[in-house]
Chains A and B, each alone.
Chain A
């Protein structure tokens, strides 16, 4: 019943899913933190940019963004992200799309983390003469990140599930392989069960472990 496991590289497909997830997670964490810093900063133009970015990106389907990076960026404008191989290029474009999309949610998660830091912390920091970058970098963000682990975990789990959208531009990850297997084999239920189990194995432990970490490092108030 499970003989399709020998014919198809299911583990390899899930490895691609994991790679997509991790690379996009790192990228969107960096870009999302920058966006959050812009959104709370003293320069009005950057605040406006951050707000506009988040509100625009969050309301466009990820599928549109990823299709745009494939059909628009690479096929029409010829931006290949330094890849000569078609597969590598699709992978990189998918990561780019995922970063653009996910960073909006990371920004909101970090902002909600910043909101848990008591006002007195920032006031005390300003009272001893720290500048905005110092207040944010030394006092607020370290506490905010610890509180933001919960929301960030949700973003990471959603990101793991969102990597399946890369199937739309032909990246050979789990959902893409599932479609291929279902078309060629007559074991719909077994194939779906394996793929579903794979995603449960990726998302449940992420939630459990990071949920535990989040509670562990949360600032007790």
Chain B
């Protein structure tokens, strides 16, 4: 790979790079050795601690699989409820009527400014005080409530951005052939916007999956992380358990992220669409900021050559919000 940031390497530069590589390898090996030493000193590498995961299925069927099911269930439910809600909020925020637009904007900005954990804690207490949901089910309800409130407002922004990325000609043409505003939105803009924002929605799913872990650690919702903790208590192998759980999250989220970038590339190259895509990168901006226009300074139009291959170009996993 050549880059515009450095010249094609001559003999001296090559020697220097080999030196840097060697230094890096030594430093990295030293780090790995230190980690190994630490683990070994505390007896964390003993076969008995890792055996439950590497041979036999008991650990998976008793702890990991039920936890994973809860994680995926909460994430899927949050997405299924949050998406329509977000679509309604997003469209309402584009309304021509100030009395619709402004209150919705305040609601969306409010829920985006608050940590999702605070929403979950609030939900837990809310269900405890005002409903008769049993205390076993409450954490699940609270986690889904928190995720829905937060992600609906993020999805609202994704929907809004998706509609705004469509070329102006689309709405102009719709109005020119005499469609009403509601028909224009329903028949022309939304169907196109859905394809435009698909990658962004898939990336948001990663954020949701990651946030379910929060419900586990603080609200004792029995999802993957909580069951890993229980499992670690049973086998006495906290490091092994957390490592396995981290790998599971990694596999799920990496496949979602690569699916999102595959979708994005496909949509970008597709001939049928307008070529407008709301990439995973754009979502990072949406999810972080409050309505301040702080985002969008960087990552300008995809026209000029780029200094380094961005996610749009080299097809590595696109970004999503934290």
Total residues of chain B contacting the partner, CB 8 A: 83
Q: In the complex the two chains form, is A122's CB within 8 Å of B284's CB?
A: no
Do A150 and B297 touch (CB < 8 A)?
yes
Contact A200 B24 (CB under 8 A): no
B120 to chain A, nearest CB (A): 9
CB pair B254 A64 closer than 8 Å = no
Q: Nearest chain-B residue to A150 (Cβ)?
A: B297
Could you mark each residue 104-126 of chain B with 1 if its beta carbon is under 8 Å from any beta carbon of chain A, else 0? Answer: 00000110011111100110011
B78-98 CB contact bits vs A (8 Å, 1 = yes)? 000000000000000000000
Cβ of A82 < 8 Å from any Cβ of B?
no
| Interface size counted on chain A using CB atoms at 8 A | 88
Q: Which of B37-45, B56-64, B158-166, B183-191 contacts A (4 or more CB under 8 A)?
A: B37-45
Contact of B238 among A41, A75, A153, A203 (CB under 8 A): A75
Contact across chains for B285 and A151 when beta carbons are under 8 A apart: yes
Q: Does A10 contact B (CB under 8 A)?
A: no
Binds A, one of B132-140, B169-177, B267-275, B299-307: B299-307
Q: Main secondary structure on chain A at its contact with chain B?
A: helix
Q: Does residue A29 face the partner (Cβ distance < 8 Å to B)?
A: no
Which residues of A sit under 8 angstroms from B316, Cβ to Cβ?
51, 55
Are B307 and A114 within 8 A (Cβ)? Answer: yes
Question: Digit string of A137-181 for contact with B (CB within 8 Å is 1, else 0)?
Answer: 000100000011111011101110111110110000011001100
The residues of B that contact A126 with a CB separation of less than 8 Å are 4, 6-7
* B52 interfacial contact with A, CB 8 Å: no
Tell me which residues across on chain A come within 8 A of B55, comparing CB atoms. none
B155 contacts the other chain (Cβ, under 8 Å)?
Answer: no
B230 contacts the other chain (CB 8 A): no
From the candidates A62, A147, A148, A207, name the one contacting B322 in the complex (CB within 8 A): A62
Taking a contact as CB atoms under 8 Å apart, the answer to whether B217 and A168 are in contact is yes
**CB-CB under 8 A for A178 and B214, given A59-B250, A150-B295:** no
Per-residue A-contact encoding for B271-302, CB less than 8 Å = 1, 0 else: 00000000001001101111111111111100
In the complex, are the beta carbons of A115 and B299 less than 8 A apart?
A: yes
- Per a CB cutoff under 8 Å, which of B4, B214, B232, B284 touches A105? B284
Interface centre among B209, B297, B305 (most CB of A within 10 A): B297
Out of B232, B250, B284, which one reaches A108, CB within 8 Å? Answer: B284
CB atoms of A61 and B298 under 8 A apart: no
Give the segment of A1-9, A66-74, A88-96 that binds chain B. Answer: A66-74
B149–chain A nearest beta-carbon distance, Å: 11
Q: Determine which residue in B24, B229, B290 has the highest number of CB atoms from chain A within 10 A of its CB, and name it.
A: B290
Q: Take A119-B4, A150-B298 as given contacts and tell me if A64 and B249 are in contact as well, using a CB distance cutoff of 8 Å.
A: yes
- Contact of A112 with B310 in the complex, beta carbons under 8 Å: yes
User: Any chain A CB within 8 A of the CB of B21?
Assistant: yes
A153 and B110 form a contact (CB under 8 A)? no
> If A56-B250, A58-B319, A118-B304 touch, does A199 touch B118 (CB 8 Å cutoff)?
yes
Residues of A within 8 A of B109 (CB): 204
Contact (A42, B246) CB under 8 Å given A63-B225, A102-B322, A105-B322: no
Complex formed: what's the CA distance from A64 to B21 in Å?
31
Q: Which residues of A contact B246 (CB under 8 A)?
A: 60, 64, 68
B6 touches A42 (CB 8 A): yes
A76 touches B42 (CB 8 A): yes
A78 touches which one: B42, B212, B306 (CB < 8 A)? B42
Q: Could you tell me the distance between the alpha carbons of A182 and B219 in the complex, rounded to whole angstroms?
A: 13
Question: Which A residues fall within an 8 A CB radius of B?
Answer: 39-46, 49, 51, 55-56, 58-64, 67-68, 71-72, 75-79, 101-102, 105, 108-109, 111-119, 122-123, 126, 131-132, 135-136, 140, 147-151, 153-155, 157-159, 161-165, 167-168, 174-175, 178-179, 182, 188, 192, 195-196, 199-200, 203-204, 207-208, 210-211, 214-215, 218
**A and B contact pairs by CB, cutoff 8 A, 17 listed:** A41-B5, A44-B1, A45-B21, A55-B254, A67-B242, A68-B242, A77-B38, A108-B319, A112-B298, A115-B308, A116-B297, A147-B297, A165-B214, A175-B218, A178-B118, A204-B109, A204-B290
